[in-house]
Amino acid sequence: MEFDNSKPIYLQIIHNIKKKLVRGELKPGEKIQSQREFAKEVNVNPNTVQRAYREMELLGLVHTLRGQGTFITEDSQMLQEIKSEMAVDLIKSFITEMQSLGFEDEQILIQVEKNMQIKE
């Protein structure tokens, strides 16, 4: 059994920014907060924020211009991929969890659909 399932903070930061991207709250080419601003806002050590920004740079998600700041990539295909990736991750772990409760694929679909109708 596993205790303490919290993800490292720098990964949580990346995840969050990806989400904002996918939802259009951040647009291609847009300048994002400076590392210092960000660190202060979420009350986290600046080194942690730096790691998150560096990692996103490596992923091609943002690019940094010295002395000017950090900007969202303009590569729209990349943005599409992020959306798919995040969705696939969610779906996979959802299916795995449901199967571990003993649900077959067909039942899973039925249950999901039923839950959507309930909400209407």
Partner DNA sequence: GTGGTCTAGACCACC
Contact residues for a copy of itself, defined by CB under 8 A: 1-7, 9, 12-13, 16, 19, 22-24, 42, 44, 58, 83, 86-88, 90-92, 94-95, 97-98, 100-103, 105, 108-109, 111-113, 115-116, 119
Give the CB-side neighbour count of residue 109, counting CA atoms within 13 A.
Answer: 2
The residue from 16, 41, 47, 97 that contacts DNA (CB under 7 A) is 47
Beta-carbon contacts of residue 50 (< 8 Å; ≥ 6 apart): 35
- Per-residue x/- marks for DNA, 62-81, CB under 7 A? --x-xxxxx-----------
Least Cα distance to 17 among 30, 3, 36 occurs for: 30
Report, in Å, the least distance between residue 81 CB and DNA: 23
**Both tokens of residue 29?**
């080419």
Give yes or no for residue 15 binding DNA (CB under 7 A): no
Choice between 42 and 69, CB closer to a copy of itself: 42
Name the CA dihedral angle for 116, 88, 15, 67, rounded to a multiple of 10 degrees: -130
Report, in Å, the least distance between residue 8 CB and DNA: 4
Q: What is the DSSP letter of 25?
A: S
